[in-house]
Structure 1
Amino acid sequence: MRPETQVTLPRDDTTTEARLYMAIEMAEKSWKLVFSDGVVKPNGQLRLSQTSVPGNDYLAVGEALKRAKARFDLPEAVVVISCYEAGQDGFWPHRRLAELGVENRVIDSASIEVNRRHRRAKTDRLDGRKLAEMLVRAERGERGVWRVVNVPSVEAEDARRPHRELERIRNEEKQHRTRLRSLLKLHGVRPAVIPGGRGWEGYLSELERILPPAAFAEIRRESARLALVKSQRRALEGEQRERLAAAEQDDTLLQQILILSLLKGVGRTSAWLLVMEFFGWREFKNRRQVSGCAGLDPTPYDSGESRREQGISKAGNKRIRWLMVELAWNWLRYQPESALSQWFAQRFGGGSARQRRVGIVALARRLLVAFWRYLEHGIVPEGAQLKA
């Protein structure tokens, strides 16, 4: 079966040394490995070899590498470059492949080019072949083939777990409260107190007299789940406060949180998210990379006589994007004399509500760049005030 997309590859390998390319198509039970030495056959197709190994079996991957080197007549010490799509397996395959001496690339799945036909064949075999062809093209210097994900260290990845868990727990707490209100309304009861709040336990004893037994039992169980989620939320919030209170000078991440939270309008919770999720372990070269990583960069459409703005790309970290929009509104409130607030007032202050909503996204992008310069170079945003 021929691949659906014909890719023209250079016939002469311009690399200075032989290489073995390996594309990994991951599934739950098995992995499809597609190997290539980068040589193009007379028919214009890349020379490939395929095999399957059990999923997450790195000993089998090592054995497959040895067989591929022998098949392509490559030396044992040949440079091996691999790739796989970012997914549920996370970054641990990348680290295990590095232990095998493999130079791996984690690929953003959304950046992979696809055939735009309405119906196209899709199998692990075809996807593996396509990944291998794109890997060869990317390693030979072709730009724009795909986007490679920046892999965090084990420590940086682990530091993201507490605030992400806290985010989920807060959402679960809202869901339990909404569920309790809905259960009460089904029986014509409008709660006189906030579900799970002060006085809720005493209010439950009153509900027991007016609600059917099964309905009250369900509400009691839902209340117990809400109480458990609340206790876990408080425990996580307490751990964050204790860590910040005991922050040492050599703890760079916590010091960045404290420094960022010195700005009026930026709380420690927001600073924690910005540092642990964004600034703490990523390295940016310019402001375009900063806004692009958050998905706040513009996407103009300029073709022929048609010119319009399509809005922001939304291709970056959604947590940072949402947070920066909220912080932009806070910045207008708590930093009205800053240069950014003055720019917003001149540009969008007299406009409609819709224009202000558009403008707040532009302010969020500029504010994120200002935070980066503040943490990276110590440049306080112009006109901004620090907390006493």
Structure 2
Amino acid sequence: MSIPSHAAVSTQLNAIFVSLELSRSTWLVTSLSPGRGKRISRHQVKGSDMPAFLERLAQLQAKARERTGEQYPLVIIQEAGLDGFWIHRCLIREGIESHVVDPATIAASRRSRRAKTDKLDGEALVRTLPAYKRGEPRICAMVTVPSAEDEDRRRVCRERRSLVVERIWHVNRIKGLLFAQGVGDYEPLRTNRRAAGGTSHR
């Protein structure tokens, strides 16, 4: 799999293609719009500021309309990550086409030793999107977005797994510290842990 080249991106775009790179402080908005040839635009909005992001999208549409005299729909792409799917759901509610991509399926160079930057990633994403919409095979794989309820259940399961791992670490550390003091029969998880074992103490 390879990154779509600049030549592979059609100059006759039928939509405004936008990639969104997320961080806590800022969102990087990279766009490819009709009437600008192959030129990429980049803007930043404050992280998690959905109204500011929607305003930026409206500005992209207005500028495309000024250049071409036509109104173009928006197509957004973002990576599946720790932010979950709330942004995708907000965009869908606004009537905006949104896709969440599995980052492991995009462009082999993303796995190379070259330094990862938002600028490179945003451009790779936004140039991948028109190819995906044209139906080019093996260009990337989109994630099936779960319902909000299913996402909440998955989050609870992930949090439980993390807590179980943390508990095991603490139990092993307690047992190790006690063993170094000659207490070898103490089981921290037993309800009768203080009464059991001849060397345990209250």
TM-score tier, shorter chain, comes to 0.7 to 0.9
Instruction: Report deviation, 1:91.
Output: 0.7
Q: Is the 8 A contact 1:24 1:82 kept in 2?
A: yes
Residue of structure 1 equivalent to 2:184: 190
TM-score, scaled relative to structure 1: 0.45
Q: Compute the displacement of 1:76 (Å).
A: 8.3
Q: Report % sequence identity.
A: 32
What is the count of residue pairs matched by the alignment? 198
DSSP 3-state at the match of 2:42: strand
Indicate which of 76, 88, 97 corresponds to 1:103. 97
Q: Give SS of 1:201's match.
A: coil
User: Would you say 1:174 and 2:168 are equivalent positions?
Assistant: yes
- 1:36 paired residue number: 32
Q: Superposed, which structure 2 residues align to 1:121-200 within 5 Å?
A: 122-191=116-185, 193-200=186-193
Q: Contact 1:108–1:147 (CA<8 Å) still a contact in 2?
A: yes
8 Å contact kept, 1:94–1:105: yes
Q: Distance in 1 between matches of 2:112 and 2:151?
A: 38
Instruction: Give unpaired runs (5+ residues) of structure 1.
Output: 210-388
Q: Tell me which amino acid in the other structure corresponds to 1:95.
A: R
Cα pair distance change 1:11/1:103, threshold 3 Å = closer
Distance 1:50 1:154 in 2: 30
Matched, 1:49 2:41: yes
How much does 1:185 deviate? 1.6
> Structure 2, unaligned stretches of length 5 or more?
none
State whether residues 183 and 199 of structure 2, in contact with CA within 8 Å, keep that contact through their aligned partners in structure 1: no
* Superposed counterparts of 1:202-221, under 5 Å: 202-203=195-196, 207-208=200-201
- Quick one: distance in 1 between partners of 2:85 and 2:112? 32
Q: 2:164 aligned with 1:201, yes or no?
A: no
* Greater per-residue helix proportion: 1
After superposition, the C-alpha distances for 1:323-360 in whole angstroms (9 at most, x for unaligned) are: xxxxxxxxxxxxxxxxxxxxxxxxxxxxxxxxxxxxxx
Contact 1:94 1:104 in 2 (8 A): yes
Partner of 2:7, secondary structure, is coil
Q: 1:208 to 1:165 in 2, by over 3 A?
A: same
Greater C-alpha radius of gyration: 1
Aligned partner of residue 8 in structure 1, secondary structure = helix
Q: Which amino acid aligns with 1:99?
A: R
Equivalent residues in 2 for 1:1-388 (5 A)? 6-11=5-10, 13=12, 18-37=14-33, 41=37, 46-73=38-65, 78-115=72-109, 119-120=113-114, 122-191=116-185, 193-203=186-196, 207-208=200-201
Quickly say closer, same or farther: Cα 1:50–1:169, change in 2 above 3 A: closer
TM-score, length basis structure 2: 0.82
> In 2 relative to 1, CA 70–111 (structure 1 residues): closer, same or farther, beyond 3 Å?
same
